[in-house]
Amino acid sequence: MGNFAIAEPPVVTLPVRSMKPFPVRRIYCAGRNYAEHVKEMGGDVREKPYFFMKPADALLPSGKRMPYPPATSDLHHEVELVVALQGGGSNIPPEKAGELIFGYAVGLDMTRRDLQKAFKAKGQPWEMSKAFDFSAPCGTLTPAAECGLLTKGKITCAVNGKLRQSGDLGEMTWNIAELVSELSKLVAVAPGDLIFTGTPAGVGPVVRGDRIEARIDGLEPLLVEID
């Protein structure tokens, strides 16, 4: 056991295109950051960004099977741009946020929608509808040095070859730099952090045997099959 009371948990990593793996510290997720998705969920498009978290070991690499989670019969897909940070700090101004970005990937914020609705109806925390095992499928990271600061680009999600979600990164209510800045006002962000940046409209259920294909222009696609 070395220097610890129990065996040390493994370091969670994401693959990086043409580089060594990226170690993951924390996963933050921005809620309702595309106007059309806000509308379909019954929210106010003018609200400031809010964040929730998933554990780092909820990550699932592209090409892997995702076990259908327990305690739900309404599992939903939400395609998102994922931002990986190489720097950190607090109260970061938007114009400095780009310097902190290591790269980008395509992600899925998988959601137990029935649990989320039940928790919300009772005014209870709904973290367990989001932060369950394998709830954060994520593709290979593309370094920002290769693609620059992403401000636009098509983002889509298809299930069994049928398009369900389609939008553009330029439709974000709060852009990447603004999200990093707003998050840093709440917590000190750090190297190794991931930020899931919200999903466009068209979220919906998946069942065992479904194949999800999530894409963002210029990034490696994310492929997941529900087991």
Tens place of pLDDT per residue across the chain (227 aa): 578 999 999 999 999 998 999 999 999 999 889 976 556 555 555 578 899 999 999 999 999 999 999 999 999 999 999 999 999 999 999 999 999 999 999 999 999 999 999 999 999 999 999 999 999 999 999 999 999 889 999 999 999 999 999 999 999 999 999 999 999 999 999 999 999 999 999 999 999 999 999 999 999 999 999 99
Please tell me the predicted confidence (pLDDT) of residue 113. Answer: 98
Which residue ranges make up each domain of the chain? 13-226
Residues in the chain: 227
Distance of CA 104 to the CA centre of its chain: 11
Q: Is the Cβ–Cβ distance between 180 and 85 less than 8 Å?
A: yes
Please tell me the predicted confidence (pLDDT) of residue 40. 57
CB 48 within 8 A of CB 185: no
d(CA 185, CA 178): 11
DSSP state of 99: G
Pairing of strands 136-138, 111-112: unpaired
- Which residue has tokens 């995702």? 66
CATH number given to 13-226: 3.90.850.10
Could you tell me the two tokens for 31? 């809620």
* pLDDT value, residue 155: 98
- The pLDDT of residue 5 is 94
Give yes or no for a contact between 217 and 166, defined as CB atoms under 8 angstroms apart. no
Residue type, 185: K
